[in-house]
């Protein structure tokens, strides 16, 4: 009995000592690698292995957790990372609703959170709590602006919207309403659907009755395919626009001939071979080839968002180390401040210029207009 206690005390003290000796930088990664949005979470989880291992001589330990796409589980994962592992920053979660629910916990504990999620609501409007959140994807309105410009140029007067009945589709509907009004395009029909719907005949018939010049489909992942194929089946002849949610190889595979000519705006990762050389292109090519070597397939752009989070941290850590030791509140605060100073940092999705007002920090660089030509992604010319 006695020996058992001594032994456990010994083990405890050694672990304590060792953890004190190497005060590694600890970064939690929360992804949805199972559950309904696993499509987004799996490439993100896979990307953790490609993140920088040492920065400025400090070893970085990543602690990946899965929240099974459940916002409650995300909160648990965040609390565990913050209270038990005392992480210095958290990358994640994968889903927009999941991210909205954990902002307060990140802010209360003063832990910087790098969210690779779609919705701009995590950083806008900027509040005291959202100061701790940084977003590594382009805001929807940045992508939407490119699409609306293209529509205007090609003479689209009326537009139909088909979006998923979730924050992704809703946010797009909101963004498009504002932008199309300014551009003089009228939204004549707006329909919603669920990702798992087995039939979209009703929605697309209604769309056809309104006969808009173009239709925009706002849906994440493979669910963006069926609205378009149903429309084409029923003889819709106008242009179909997609959001960056469709920027996946599975979109081409599932859609086949029926998605030919689709126009979307997305990150340059899809058309690396065609874009002119830039710092982002170099980094994106590096990421794609590393990912391919490790997993044997091309990464979805969602993975790039986590990769960028790693780059942002790696860029900020050297400055933050001057502010305090890893594992302390001072270090986390310094890390947050350093992240906010990010200037002209090239990532896979574009170039980051983060300011206190804009915690996403993208501009037009890295955003490309893409079309489907001959069953492949091609730069729209």
DSSP secondary structure letters along 103-144 = HHHHHHHT--EEE--S-GGGTSS--TTGGGEEE-S--HHHHH
- Asked if 141 interacts with another protein (CB under 8 A), we say no
Helix (H, G, I), strand (E, B) or coil at 218: strand
- Asked if 222 interacts with another protein (CB under 8 A), we say yes
Q: How many angstroms separate the CA atoms of 116 and 259, rounded?
A: 27
- Asked if 87 interacts with another protein (CB under 8 A), we say no
- Asked if 199 interacts with another protein (CB under 8 A), we say yes
With residue 370 as reference, give the H or E element that holds it.
Answer: strand 367-373
Q: Work out how close the CB of 156 gets to another protein at its nearest, in angstroms, rounded to a whole number.
A: 23
- Asked if 192 interacts with another protein (CB under 8 A), we say yes
- Asked if 65 interacts with another protein (CB under 8 A), we say no
Q: Which of 109, 144, 103 is nearest to 125 (CA)?
A: 103
- Asked if 73 interacts with another protein (CB under 8 A), we say no
In the list 23, 124, 165, 378, the residue contacting another protein (rule: CB under 8 A) is 165
Complex with another protein: residue 129 or 199, whichever CB lies closer: 199
- Asked if 196 interacts with another protein (CB under 8 A), we say yes
Give the range of 76-84, 193-201, 260-268, 366-374 binding another protein by CB under 8 A: 193-201
Beta-ladder partners of 368: 266
133-135 sheet: strands from edge to edge: 54-55, 58-66, 25-31, 89-91, 113-115, 133-135
By rule CB under 8 A, what count of residues binds another protein? 34
- Asked if 370 interacts with another protein (CB under 8 A), we say no
Q: How many angstroms separate the CA atoms of 307 and 311, rounded?
A: 6
Give the range of 9-17, 173-181, 203-211, 238-246 binding another protein by CB under 8 A: 203-211
Contact 47, 307 (CB under 8 A): yes
Q: Which of 187, 192, 188, 117 is nearest to 148 (CA)?
A: 187
Beta strand 58-66 with 54-55: parallel, antiparallel or unpaired?
antiparallel
- Asked if 202 interacts with another protein (CB under 8 A), we say yes
Complex with another protein: residue 195 or 336, whichever CB lies closer: 195
Complex with another protein: residue 189 or 351, whichever CB lies closer: 189
- Asked if 209 interacts with another protein (CB under 8 A), we say yes
In the block, tokens 């920027």 appear at 247
Q: How many angstroms separate the CA atoms of 292 and 272, rounded?
A: 14
Q: How many angstroms separate the CA atoms of 214 and 312, rounded?
A: 38
In the list 138, 203, 239, 301, the residue contacting another protein (rule: CB under 8 A) is 203
Q: How many angstroms separate the CA atoms of 179 and 160, rounded?
A: 14
Q: How many CB atoms lie within 10 A of CB 3?
A: 7
Helix (H, G, I), strand (E, B) or coil at 199: coil
Q: Work out how close the CB of 193 gets to another protein at its nearest, in angstroms, rounded to a whole number.
A: 6
In this structure, what are the phi and psi dihedrals at residue 299, rounded to the nearest 5 degrees?
-75, 150
In the list 252, 254, 275, 378, the residue contacting another protein (rule: CB under 8 A) is 254
Q: Work out how close the CB of 137 gets to another protein at its nearest, in angstroms, rounded to a whole number.
A: 18
In the block, tokens 């504990």 appear at 109
- Asked if 223 interacts with another protein (CB under 8 A), we say yes
- Asked if 34 interacts with another protein (CB under 8 A), we say yes
- Asked if 309 interacts with another protein (CB under 8 A), we say no
Largest CA distance in the chain: 84
- Asked if 231 interacts with another protein (CB under 8 A), we say no
Complex with another protein: residue 195 or 367, whichever CB lies closer: 195
- Asked if 219 interacts with another protein (CB under 8 A), we say no
Contacting residues toward another protein, per CB under 8 A: 34-36, 38-39, 41-42, 165, 191-203, 205-206, 209, 221-223, 225-226, 233-234, 248, 250, 254
């Amino acid at each position: 009995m006695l020996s058992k206690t001594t032994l456990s005390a010994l083990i405890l003290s050694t672990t304590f000592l060792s953890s004190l000796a190497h005060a590694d930088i600890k970064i939690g990664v929360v992804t949805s690698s199972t559950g309904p949005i696993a499509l987004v979470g799996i490439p993100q989880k896979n990307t953790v292995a490609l993140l920088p291992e040492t920065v400025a001589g400090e070893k970085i330990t990543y602690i990946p957790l899965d929240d099974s796409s459940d916002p409650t589980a995300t909160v648990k994962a965040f609390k565990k990372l913050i209270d038990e592992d005392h992480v210095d920053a958290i990358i994640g979660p994968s889903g927009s609703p999941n991210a909205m629910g954990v902002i307060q916990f990140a802010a209360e504990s003063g832990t910087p959170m790098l969210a690779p999620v779609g919705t701009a609501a995590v950083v806008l409007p900027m509040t005291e709590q959202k100061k701790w959140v940084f977003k590594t994807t382009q805001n929807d309105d940045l992508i939407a602006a490119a699409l609306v410009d293209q529509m205007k140029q090609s003479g689209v007067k009326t537009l139909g919207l088909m979006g998923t009945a979730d924050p992704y589709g809703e946010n797009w509907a909101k963004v498009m309403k504002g932008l199309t009004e300014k551009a003089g395009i009228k939204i004549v029909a707006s329909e919603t659907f669920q990702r798992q719907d087995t039939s979209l005949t009703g929605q697309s018939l209604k769309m056809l009755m309104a006969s808009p010049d173009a239709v925009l489909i706002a849906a994440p992942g493979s669910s963006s395919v069926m609205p378009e194929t149903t429309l084409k089946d029923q003889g819709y002849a106008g242009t179909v626009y997609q959001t960056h949610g469709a920027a996946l190889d599975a979109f081409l595979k599932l859609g086949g001939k029926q998605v030919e000519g689709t126009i979307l705006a997305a990150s340059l990762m899809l058309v690396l071979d065609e874009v002119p050389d830039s710092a982002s292109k170099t980094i994106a090519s590096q990421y794609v080839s590393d990912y391919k070597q490790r997993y044997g397939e091309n990464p979805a752009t969602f993975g790039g968002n986590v990769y960028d989070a790693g780059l942002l941290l790696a860029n900020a850590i050297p400055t933050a180390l001057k502010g305090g030791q890893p594992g302390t509140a001072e270090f986390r605060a310094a890390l947050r401040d350093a992240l906010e100073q990010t200037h002209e940092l090239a990532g896979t999705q574009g170039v980051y210029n983060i300011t206190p007002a804009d915690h996403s920090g993208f501009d037009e660089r890295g955003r490309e207009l893409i079309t489907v030509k001959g069953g492949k992604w091609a730069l729209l010319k």
